[in-house]
Amino acid sequence: MKIYEHQAKKIFARYNIPVPEGEVACSPEEVQQAASRLDCPVTLKAQVLVGGRGKAGGIKFADNPEEARRLAEELFALEIKDLPVESLLVEEKLTIEEELYLGLTIDRSAKRPVLMLSTEGGVDIEEVAAETPDKIISSHLEPGQKFELYQARELISRLDIPSSLLNKLSQLLINLYRLYQEKDAQIAEINPLALTADGLCAADAKLVIDEDALFRQQEFEADGEELPYVELEGTVGCIVNGAGLAMSTMDTLLHLGGEPANFLDIGGGASAEVMARALSKVSCHPEVRSIFINILGGITRCDEVARGILQSIEEVEVPVVVRLRGTNEEEGSELLRENNLEVEKSMTAATEKAISAAKEWA
């Protein structure tokens, strides 16, 4: 599960990884107010769950609050890889002397975490690997063993950086690896890690959480942040757990003559509250004529999904079609039936029912 940059930076700060001072804003007016409070030149960064926003014009710099507001209006009008910009991170503009790259991910062939360091920060690590692979230092780590300070120092000493940074950068690397382990991350990346006159600072932050571990990471569901959502032009609203199942659901809808109104993935291990928020969000789409909730429970419990549906169902005016399969399927189905909601087991039957309901409602 991807999380927004501003969320990642809050977590990084808790692990003593320096980040710029900043605020999240959801309108040009809020951007201007945030820039006034920061009282310095600012960076405006579109908060979207895709990469490449810089090349798409999703990052701008402002010298004063009035300029920040004007640029914010441009940013809020953007779509980056078909995703609308609904919030901006407003933070102090850094004066960067050098840019480094630090990243941790999983090497699936080696079945171990791999740590990557480079002096080529600010560039996609894939580009560095393709064009200047000698500028990347990598090391596999043993999951069951502590990453020691001397190991961090040895790796960082291989970088072409001032010796005065060795201790601070080594400790930062230790902190990043602890975060990576404790947050069940698949990716923890700082690109760039900025060297400024005041020291090191994570100018950007990327954090991807293992969805199968969300039952240990409740903060990512409980903080009220936006769900991964893309609005489309169809009439059948879709709420699904897992991106793969979401794509399959939309393909089935199209194959059977329907059109999806959105993409919304509630993720693995979703709570009743997350399900309730998802149902409320999709029901607000003005073109939705029915809602198809398609859940294949693994760590996602069908009874939790059912409770979430019941929390929000009174707010929903259009027909709701539910398919539940998997963990606690019978319990969840019984809860819905007790409240006069039918539950399907067949994906084809449920899809056809959602399409028919949308046509009848129209």
| Distances, alpha carbon 134 to alpha carbons 161, 340, 356, in Å | 15, 64, 59
Q: Are 117 and 155 in contact (CB under 8 A)?
A: yes
The per-residue b/e assignment along 60-83, b for 16 or more CB within 10 angstroms, e otherwise, is bebeebebbbebbeebbeeebeeb
| 189 is an active site residue | yes
Compute the distance between CA of residue 249 and CA of residue 296 in angstroms, rounded to an integer: 11
State the catalytic residue, choosing from 5, 91, 99, 189: 189
Q: Are 283 and 293 in contact (CB under 8 A)?
A: no
The DSSP line for 157-196 is TTSSS-GGGHHHHHHHHHHHHHHHHHTTEEEEEEEEEEEE
- Tokens encoding 197: 């006159």
Residues pairing with 214 in the sheet: none
Compute the distance between CA of residue 187 and CA of residue 207 in angstroms, rounded to an integer: 6
The DSSP line for 243-307 is HHHHHHHHHHHHHTT--B-EEEB--TT--HHHHHHHHHHHHT-TT-SEEEEEEEESSS-HHHHHH
Please give the biggest Cα pair distance in the chain. 71
Compute the distance between CA of residue 20 and CA of residue 134 in angstroms, rounded to an integer: 30
State the catalytic residue, choosing from 4, 5, 99, 101: 101
Amino acid in position 41: P
Compute the distance between CA of residue 287 and CA of residue 240 in angstroms, rounded to an integer: 19
Q: Are 86 and 47 in contact (CB under 8 A)?
A: yes
Compute the distance between CA of residue 22 and CA of residue 25 in angstroms, rounded to an integer: 10
Is there a cis peptide before residue 192, judged by omega within 30 degrees of 0?
A: yes
Taking alpha carbons only, the member of 141, 137, 223, 138 closest to residue 178 is 141
Positions annotated as catalytic residues are 101, 189
